[in-house]
Amino acid sequence: MRETAKYDDRLDMLVNLDLGNRGVEPLYEAARAITGKALCGAAADLLLAMPKRGTAIVTTGSVSRAWLSPRLGENDGPSGAAALIRALWLARQAATILVIEETLIQPMAATLTACGIAVVDFETTQKASQDGTMACATILPYPVTDAEGAAAAPAMLADLAPDILISTERVGRNENGIYYNMRGRDYGMGRARIDMLFDEGRARGIPTLAVGDGGNEIGMGLVAQAVQASVPFAAPGDCPCGGGIGAVSKADVLMTAAVSNWGCTAICAALALRTGDARLIHTPAMEARLLEVMTANGLINSADGIIDPHVDGIRDTTHIAVAELAEAITRKALT
């Protein structure tokens, strides 16, 4: 266990290196203090605690330019979610439901397929989970208004009966109910109110894992004070509503990272460390492939506002290098 903790620490340090200068390092310190150990290790432990062949609800997919069109999604989040879904199937044969905006189903389906996950109906996903023969997932839309989002949460949880809720790079509302981007602009229009699903899940005692990099994502309510002190536009009064960009929704485990996709890479590596299964590692080859697929399907480098394989304004080669370093850390431990 001590050896595993050492490698968990290295993975945490790797993915929380704040190359984008977004203020994530204080958020990491705050989350680490609450968790009491490496965040990727805590996340992996939570995932492995779910029943084998259990059910997971996963969400990602930020509508990047909501004021222009709800069909413009960003490329931080989808590939990380796909990597986690793949690892969850390999480790637990989980039946996974991905919940996003209806407008983003097509590019998300392409990303999952490129990661080796077949996108099918929920009945087929359940069958595949039980017989363990095929990695499958289901994609479902979620309402985009406050009233419908609140009403849908209890019904969806009752219908799907998830064992865990997982969010990566999924924006949550602030204390005034507004969804802000990193520049303090309201972009809640056409956005699925999935943070309401997570709030309802936590109220019911369902375990929750969240990955975020900027303070405005589901889970960041766990470190709200650090967000307000460290992230631009996050202090009270920084935004037009009188609040800041920080999300109020909390999570049982919050995995911070300089880029949310990197947080998912670290969690996959921590899962591999615990299971001894190198297949769970998110490899640099897979990262390169997913960056290409997301570009081909119109997902946006949100920092630069252009469709290319760079993520959060950081070059594609850097993202591939982070995956390679995470793999090197993990394979060293496994051998």
Domain containing 169 equals 2-334
- Asked if residue 219 lies in contact with residue 254, where contact means CB atoms within 8 angstroms, the answer is yes
The CATH number for 125's domain is 3.90.1640.20
HSE toward the beta carbon, residue 289, CA cutoff 13 A: 14
Contact 282, 269 (CB under 8 A): yes
Tell me the H-state helices in the chain: 2-15, 24-35, 39-48, 78-92, 105-114, 122-131, 146-160, 194-203, 224-230, 260-275, 284-296, 316-334
d(CA 35, CA 196): 24
Q: Which residues contact 297 (CB under 8 A, 6 or more apart)?
A: 106, 107, 110, 111
For residue 25, what are its two tokens? 């390092």
Q: Which of 204, 110, 214, 212 is nearest to 157 (CA)?
A: 204
Tokens of 17: 């290196």
Q: How many domains does the chain have?
A: 1
Task: Specify the pLDDT at position 301.
Answer: 96
Handedness of CA 45, 134, 73, 162 (dihedral sign): negative
Q: From first to last of its 335 residues, what are the pLDDT tens digits of the chain?
A: 568 999 999 999 999 999 988 889 999 999 999 999 999 999 999 999 999 999 999 999 889 998 999 999 999 999 999 999 999 999 999 999 999 999 999 999 999 999 999 999 999 999 999 999 999 999 999 999 999 999 999 999 999 999 999 999 999 999 999 999 999 999 999 999 999 999 999 999 999 999 999 999 999 999 999 999 999 999 999 999 999 999 999 999 999 999 999 999 999 999 999 999 999 999 999 999 999 999 999 999 999 999 999 999 999 999 999 999 999 999 989 98
